[in-house]
Amino acid sequence: MRVNQANESLGKLGERVLALARYDLEPSIYTKDPSYEFDVKTWKQWKDVKSRDPTIPGWFPMFGLTLVGLISLNDPPRPRVDQSVLTCKGAGVKVIMVTGDQPPTAAAIAHKVNIISDPHKEYNYMVDELKMSKEDAWEQSRAIVIHGDLLAEKHAEEADLDEADPERGRYLMDWISKPEVVFARTTPSQKLLIVDAC
């Protein structure tokens, strides 16, 4: 619980938060061959393998890790991004942020660069912090931060809808209709969905 609270509070400051963990590798497996190369590129394909599989080259355990702690990194926006966003808005161009950052970090950075003008008018803040109903928050909010998991969930719900069905993608169009929009924790395929919706 303390880890989640620290992660949330650091994220709200616009910090990127990394969790550090340790694992004691079996010396008889990993040190007998000094040329053993750990596969750090395709590990997501086998992350659910719960015991050593010698047929997977570069395999290492992704379970039973011990949390060591959290590190926060300040990765400030590039200089003058905030002014560029204001220039775009002044020209009538809507700026939508799409990032892999977690939602609290994304919201804080979006505020720093003028994509979200008032964090207190963000939908999730109004629901979670101000305890407003979802309907009232939707009506009164100017901004919304959408987690990639929610985007994936909504997209999966529409898998059986015909491509020509006008309700297909309605959720995405509703989100994009907000004046200030941020998509957080998005995957490359979700980025394509967002671009297509725009």
Give residue-wise pLDDT tens across range 48-59. 788 877 788 888
Same domain flag for 85 and 173: yes
Between CA 16 and CA 10 the distance in angstroms is 8
For 48, the domain range is: 2-73
Question: Any residues with CB less than 8 A from the CB of 173 and at least 6 apart, and which?
Answer: 197
Q: Which of 28, 54, 73 finishes a domain?
A: 73
For 183, counting Cβ atoms within 10 Å of its Cβ (0-12 exposed, 13-18 middle, 19+ buried), the class is buried
For residue 60, pLDDT beyond 90: no
What pLDDT score does 103 carry?
Answer: 93
Last residue of a domain, one of 14, 39, 73: 73
| Position 151 confidence tier, pLDDT thresholds 50, 70, 90 | very high
* Shared domain check, 59 and 93: no
Mark whether 87 and 178 lie in a shared domain: yes
Of 21-25, 115-119, 150-154, 178-182, the one with minimum mean pLDDT is 21-25
Q: Are residues 13 and 63 in the same domain?
A: yes
Shared domain check, 139 and 62: no
Total of domains in the chain: 2
- Domain boundary (11, 41, 73) is at 73
**Do 133 and 167 form a contact (C-beta atoms < 8 A)?**
no
